[in-house]
Amino acid sequence: MVEILKGKILAAEIRAKAKKIIEKLPNPPGMAVILVGNDPASHLYVHLKEQAAREVGIFIEKFIFPADVSEQTLLQKIKELNSRPDMHGILVQLPLPHQDEDKIIASIDPKKDIDGFHPINRQKMASGEEALIPPVALGILELIKASNQPLKGKRAIIIGNSKVFAEPLLFLFQKYGTNAQYINKNTGGLAAIARTADIVIVAVGEPDFLKEDMVKEGAIVIDVGTNKNKNNKTVGDVAKKVKNKAAFISPVPGGVGPLTVAYLLMNVISAAKIQEKS
């Protein structure tokens, strides 16, 4: 019988921990959110992050810009936020309508980059230095650990569209002695490769992408996809029948999503501590 890895329950525990830490601080940490355009999904995600931040006691400021805002205006706002000592975390909600995302993210002070996307944070992570790690990677690892299965010596594969997404996970798995590999979704013979893995993480943005014949018996399956099916229902990348093979599986919604938000809040606390030290 497959066991569902409930991210919502784990996320509630992490948020409660964040709240306790913040209650003991002399001043609440601050978080700035930059939202560009009118994409409904982006507005919903920002609302959820804002709500969660307020619940744990994080001071939040939101800056909304029209879709046609110039890159220069965004860069100027980030420069201003970088210099504010009361703003410990800066989040730019992605995707941006047409602005250069890499340029915008690179302008954030790495010590305030709570999404963990800045090139300097990626470099630090690779060299084992203290860095802000992407909340989604921390959330995925938390779900895997919730299976209570040993990670040392296990084989994990990350199926996705970009190695940039997989990199933080590859570093985290290394710490636990897990043999992890990134595989692009278009790789030939993908089903046979996937069947060799004890842990399968899929983040491709396609409903029913990971099918039953791509998973070995007893595997841990983490579904990072968020899609709308033909009935406008939110579904992941994993087909329903995968439950017949997997020993553990994360649901969509209620799996990776809530944990990503919870670890974003923890990153605001971590960012405040890093800035205090420097």
Give the start-to-end residue ranges of the domains of the chain: 25-109, 135-257
Beta strands at 199-203 and 155-160: parallel, antiparallel or unpaired = parallel
76-97 pLDDT, tens digit per residue, is 999 999 999 999 999 999 999 9
Please state, rounded to an integer, the average pLDDT across all residues of the chain.
96
pTM, two decimal places = 0.95
CATH of 25-109, one of 3.40.50.10860, 2.60.40.10, 3.30.70.890, 3.40.50.1980: 3.40.50.10860
Quickly tell me which residue has 């744990």 as its tokens. Answer: 56
Backbone phi, psi, residue 43, to 5°: -65, -40
DSSP state of 243: G
pLDDT recorded at residue 278: 78
Q: What is the mean pLDDT of residues 106-115?
A: 98
**Model confidence at 66: pLDDT above 90:** yes
Contacts of 149 (CB under 8 A, 6+ apart): 220, 248
Query: Based on the number of CB atoms within 10 Å of its own CB, is 203 exposed (0-12), middle (13-18) or buried (19 or more)?
Result: buried
**149 or 41, higher pLDDT:** 149
pLDDT recorded at residue 156: 98
pLDDT recorded at residue 136: 97
* Radius of gyration, CA atoms only, the chain: 19
Q: What is the mean pLDDT of residues 180-198?
A: 96
The closest of 211, 159, 148 to 185, measured between CA atoms, is 159
- The answer to whether domain 25-109 and domain 135-257 are alike in fold is yes
Q: How many C-alpha atoms does 172 have within 13 Å on its Cβ side?
A: 21
In this prediction, what percent of the chain has a pLDDT beyond 70? 100
**Model confidence at 128: pLDDT above 90:** no
34 forms bridges with which residues in the sheet?
A: 63, 92
**Model confidence at 264: pLDDT above 90:** yes
pLDDT recorded at residue 126: 86
pLDDT recorded at residue 1: 85
Q: What is the mean pLDDT of residues 24-33?
A: 96
137-158 pLDDT, tens digit per residue, is 999 999 999 999 999 999 999 9
**Model confidence at 228: pLDDT above 90:** no
CATH no., domain 135-257: 3.40.50.720
Query: Based on the number of CB atoms within 10 Å of its own CB, is 176 exposed (0-12), middle (13-18) or buried (19 or more)?
Result: middle
**Model confidence at 231: pLDDT above 90:** no
Catalytic residues: 49, 93, 115
Q: What is the mean pLDDT of residues 120-137?
A: 92
